[in-house]
Amino acid sequence: MKRIVSLFMTVLVLAFIMTACSNNGQSNAKKEAVELTISAAASLQDALTEITTNFNKKYPDIKINYNFGASGALQQQISQGAPVDLFFSAAEDKFYKVVDEGLIKTDQSIDLVGNEIVLIVPEDSNQEINAFEDLVNADKISIGTPESVPAGKYAQETLTNSNLWNDFEGKIVYAKDVRQVLTYVETGNVDAGIVYKTDALISSKVKIVSTADSNTHGPIIYPVGIIKNSDHLQEAELFYEYLQSEEAMNTFNKFGFSGLK
């Protein structure tokens, strides 16, 4: 009888252990990486890469996938139903089209950081281009396509409000996003380009020769918000909150962005 009882108890213990292991396995399965897709302006790429590395130290089970590009193109993708969890735009007008369509709630969005517009030339340039007015000495000037690239829109505004646009319009080489403008200048395919300060700071192949006066263009504001129909709202909210943390804001500042919150 004692042997039977002992055997019965052993079976119970083994069953308990197996059940516990099974539950733990199910729990671990639930903690497998949740993937978030973030559509973000190209100018945010370097800052967000570092921010994501820091975020994953705290939340290793949340994988962040980025779709970087021009804010206008990203907005159109989201409006057409692209599966996105957060939208981080370089322009308020593109962002609020998504809000107006009911895809982002106003209480789950924030104007997070700001930027500046600068004139750049190749690091080894020997042309006399030290101000926007000196673009008369350039043969080719690159800016982002104003209709879809916010930096291009701000560049056009700057030249227009400085009474320079009509003089240089024929010299403009349009780019699909601000990073392409940077590449054109780095490779010497154009004599000068107009980009965000943050883009210029990451390249050793260009130099900033002038910063646009803030009254020559609209305010440069980067809003971010959670897409309402995200399949991973809880995780999206965690990342959204982290972007507003002191640690994340310090990283944005490191890459040349100014905090707005």
Name the residue type at position 153.
K
The tokens for 90 are 């370089």
Q: How does DSSP classify residue 205? A: S
d(CA 67, CA 129): 35
Please choose, from the candidates 223, 221, 220, the residue with its C-alpha nearest in 3D space to the C-alpha of residue 95: 223
Q: Which CATH number fits domain 117-216: 3.40.190.10, 3.90.550.10, 3.40.50.261, 3.30.420.40?
A: 3.40.190.10
Q: Is 147 exposed, middle or buried (0-12, 13-18, 19+ CB in 10 A)?
A: exposed
Backbone angles phi, psi at 202, to 5 degrees: -85, -5
Q: What is the separation of C-alpha 159 from the centre of its chain, rounded to a whole number of angstroms?
A: 26
Q: Give per-residue pLDDT as tens, 180-191.
A: 999 999 999 999
- Residue ranges at the known binding site for molybdate: 43, 71, 151, 178, 196
Q: How does DSSP classify residue 147? A: T
d(CA 70, CA 251): 22
Return the percentage of the chain with pLDDT > 70, whole number: 88
Residue 1 pLDDT more than 60? no
Mean pLDDT over 92-109 rounds to 95
Collapsed DSSP state (helix, strand, coil) of residue 257: coil
Residue 37 pLDDT more than 60? yes
Residue 213 pLDDT more than 80? yes
**pLDDT for the residue 27:** 45
Give the CATH fold of the 34-114+221-259 domain.
D-Maltodextrin-Binding Protein; domain 2 (3.40.190)
Decide the pairing of beta strands 206-211 and 192-196.
Answer: unpaired
Q: List, in sequence order, the alpha helices (H) in the chain.
A: 2-30, 45-58, 71-79, 92-100, 150-161, 165-168, 178-186, 197-201, 233-243, 246-254
Whole-angstrom Cα Rg for the chain:
25
Domains of the chain, residue spans: 34-114+221-259, 117-216
Mean pLDDT over 60-88 rounds to 96
d(CA 213, CA 118): 9
- Please state, rounded to an integer, the average pLDDT across all residues of the chain: 90
Contact 231, 92 (CB under 8 A): no
The tokens for 87 are 């939208």
d(CA 69, CA 148): 10
| 0.85 surpassed by pTM | no
Least confident window among 10-14, 45-49, 85-89: 10-14
Residue 236 pLDDT more than 90? yes
- Residue ranges at the known binding site: 43, 71, 151, 178, 196
Residue 30 pLDDT more than 70? no
Q: Do domains 34-114+221-259 and 117-216 have the same CATH topology?
A: yes
Confidence bin at 144 (pLDDT 50/70/90) = very high
Confidence bin at 18 (pLDDT 50/70/90) = low
Residue 3 pLDDT more than 70? no
